[in-house]
Amino acid sequence: MPQLQYHHPVLLAESVDMLSVAPGGTYVDLTFGGGGHSREILSRMAPAGGRLVAFDQDADAQANLPADPRLTFVHGNFRFMRGQLRLRGITEVDGVLADLGVSSHHFDTPERGFSFRSDGPLDMRMNTQGALTAETVVNTYSDEELTRVLRDYGELETPWKVSACLVRARAKAPIATVGEFVEAVAPCTPRKDPTKFLSRLFQAVRIEVNGEMEALRMALEQSAKVLGPGGRLVVISYHSLEDRLVKNFMRSGNFEGRVEKDFYGVPQVPFSEVSRAVVPSAEEQARNPRSRSAKLRVATATAK
């Protein structure tokens, strides 16, 4: 499948510029997807030098791999980055890039179940070999568990009401498709801006299915350990939950945003410089509406 049909890379030039690619450096692309960011990184490396390790848990992404000896592809979740790098003899890298958004390929493939705009199986797995599906979450989680997912990951105003709708609907018949899922929450869907409500609903279940927040926490912590002095961490996030974790970690080294100091009052943080958030230009947002919620943050690693 051609790369441009798979995904339009967001903030492409800005993110790779901020990665500050050295011709012979070693870099990690945590979210290969359609390969747009990886190709741009490779284009800035020496023709016979440098190394790029790219991760993606979706087998479909492998169809986008360029034939380039400088690129190593890891079919797996980026939460295992440090271990996978060590297996390949890499203990330190010059840059880590992550584009956390769900690819256009996922949204535009009805049988993957990521979008409420097309009917299909209620799946939402980024790794199609994963055991947990959206259908399982919606049909087997308790009322309390569903409320937690919808509150924590969808930030819905009345998650308990939506959970109750789902519990009532599944008592009559299992909810197996996207259409049935949307129909089940129809009594709870606000007339004002139903698209926003459904987007948050699907986001919440998708995050639960794929363990996205825990994977992000693990990847951020590992990035601080594998980046060499002066190395760059570049992250593009798409919703407030992700951005809050990224911002807090870059500024403090933890997810609460609490800066720890040593005996002499010197802040103990993993990054020496942290940029302000960068958002797509009006031109890019017009060209690619899915980029509108993107925020790019960059941090430079301190000396170990």
Give me the CATH code for the 112-210 domain, please.
Answer: 1.10.150.170
Nearest to 242 by CA among 215, 205, 268: 215
Sheet hosting strand 271-274, strand order edge to edge: 71-75, 51-56, 26-29, 93-99, 227-237, 295-301, 271-274
Torsion angle in degrees (nearest 10) through CA of 96, 102, 103, 109: 150
> What is the pTM (predicted TM-score) of this model?
0.93
- DSSP 8-state code for residue 131: S
Q: Please say whether the beta carbons of 98 and 56 come within 8 A.
A: no
Q: What's the confidence (pLDDT) of residue 7?
A: 62
Lookup result for tokens 């179940």: 113
Separation between Cα atoms, residue 99 and residue 208, nearest integer Å: 19
Q: In a 10 Å sphere around its CB, with 0-12 CB exposed, 13-18 middle and 19+ buried, how is residue 192 labelled?
A: exposed
Paired strand residues for 74? 55
| Measured distance CA(96)–CA(54) in Å, rounded | 10
Q: 170 with 138: CB under 8 angstroms? A: yes
| Residue pair 183/163 in contact by the 8 Å Cβ criterion | no
Block residue for tokens 């990054």: 271
Q: 3-state DSSP call for residue 125?
A: coil
**CB under 8 Å, gap of 24 or more: what pairs does 145-153 form?**
149/204, 149/205, 149/207, 149/208, 150/201, 150/204, 152/204, 153/203, 153/204, 153/205, 153/207, 153/208, 153/213, 153/241
**First CA to last CA distance, the chain:** 42
Every domain of the chain and the residues it spans:
3-104+212-301, 112-210
What fold characterizes domain 3-104+212-301? Rossmann fold (3.40.50)
Confidence (pLDDT) at 117:
94
DSSP state of 111: G
Write the CB contacts of 246 (distance below 8 Å, at least 6 apart in sequence).
216, 220, 235, 237, 297
CB atoms within 10 A of CB 37: 29
Task: List the chain pLDDT tens, one digit each, 304 residues.
Answer: 334 455 679 999 999 999 999 999 999 999 999 999 999 999 999 998 899 999 999 988 999 999 999 999 999 999 999 999 999 999 999 999 999 978 888 888 999 999 999 999 999 999 999 999 999 999 999 999 999 999 999 999 999 999 999 999 999 999 999 999 999 999 999 999 999 999 999 999 999 999 999 999 999 999 999 999 999 999 999 999 999 999 999 999 999 999 999 888 888 899 998 899 999 999 999 999 989 999 999 999 997 6
- Which pLDDT does position 6 carry in this prediction? 58
Angle at 36 between CA 33 and CA 42, to 5 degrees: 115
